[in-house]
Amino acid sequence: MGNAGLDEIAGRLLIQCRPRQALLAAEIARTRDAGLVLTGGGLEATVRTLRESGFTGPLLCDADRYSGSKRVAAARGTHPAWLVRQADLGLLPLTDSGYVALYDIRGLRTILRTAARRRSPVVAVLPLAARWFATTPACEALVREINAHGVPVAIAVEHRDDPFGVQYLIRRFLRLLAAAEVPVLLLRSDIAAIGVLCHGAHAAAAGTISALRHTYPQVRRGGAPRPGVSAFVTPLLAYHRLETLERVFDGTPDLAQLWPCECPVCDTRTPARLGSAGEAARHSVHALLALHADLRRARTRAAMISSWHEHCSHALGVHEQVAEEVRGWRAPSGVRGWVKVIDDPVPVRAGIPVQEPRVTAPARAPSR
């Protein structure tokens, strides 16, 4: 696939899924001009099945050696044969990297050197501790290594919750995008995938399930949180559990016009009426891809950033309205973080999609 593979995914929002979800994800990808990031085991057989089914869109394979209780460290190295097998399938190869702890320069260089030795383009997967972005020196060291090796990178950020709910990470990730001299992809994300695309990421992937929207820290017992069935709600720019959505929608009659969804799964119903985890995942992918398509209509990078800022500001306003009616409600840290960190580069919003104005409840008659 080579450079053509990099060009093919440029600017795209990708769907990150397990092999068992691949055929359903491919159906959505066909309708939305999207690609897939297959994650886990049995990837080669899944690629063949997808191609035999007629799916011709971009495909990437994430071996996922960096997550879970049996994850490996970056210094353990990668397998060159894995790169060859991906290339033989006509794919843009991704390294099967291990986890890169803070200041693990040896492990970081091990991954980058593997990719740099290949004649054709290889994407170096960098599963990073969030603390790489906690200080300027750490982030600058990361950027220096990436630029020195000159290979495309795909970053997945480890965090116990939402890495892009931390303001320092948003701020320094955007600095990395500005300073990197190579294409930068983001893996294993959620709504932040759209945010970084607006700010110049080469491509980004949003997961179909919570375990693929995050890279959780390694734990000895238990494992990643089990959040139940969640769905993405565009006016809130966030995922919430279905039972939470039902409570919010029922408790905010003045915002009722915001909640129906026109995706093929909901068909003008609200996401609270989704009946299964599979329906919630398909709805969420449709909604994210529709939002990204809306943002891509902006003609310039500044206009995309401005539109993203407007979407985040509008969502924060909706959360504040919900909080007036639903006890204990708070806007997600991710929405607050994007509004706090980024500035609108286009004060005059000509030609940029305008959000609906704030809905004001009708005045109540004074009690007697």
Predicted confidence at residue 361, as pLDDT, reads 42
Distance separating alpha carbons of residues 262 and 244, to the nearest angstrom: 20
Distance separating alpha carbons of residues 46 and 42, to the nearest angstrom: 6
Distance separating alpha carbons of residues 66 and 53, to the nearest angstrom: 30
Q: What is the pLDDT of residues 23-38, one digit of tens each?
A: 999 999 999 889 999 9
Other C-beta atoms lying within 10 Å of the C-beta of residue 357: 8
In our burial notation (b when 16+ CB lie closer than 10 A, e otherwise), range 134-163 reads eeeebbeebbebbeebebbbbbbbbbeebb
Question: Is the pTM above the cut of 0.75?
Answer: yes
Distinct helix (H) and strand (E) counts, the chain: 12, 9
Question: 59-62 and 35-39: which strand pairing?
Answer: parallel
Looking at the DSSP bridge assignments, the partners of residue 153 are 124, 184
Burial (CB count <10 Å: 0-12, 13-18, 19+), residue 194: buried
Domain boundaries, the chain: 4-212, 230-340
Distance separating alpha carbons of residues 299 and 134, to the nearest angstrom: 33
**Mind giving me the DSSP string for 157-191?**
EE-SS-GGGSHHHHHHHHHHHHH-SS-EEEEEEST
- C-alpha count within 13 angstroms, C-beta hemisphere, residue 43: 24
| Ranges of the chain with pLDDT below 70 | 1-4, 219-227, 347-368
**Domain 4-212 is of which CATH architecture?**
Alpha-Beta Barrel (3.20)
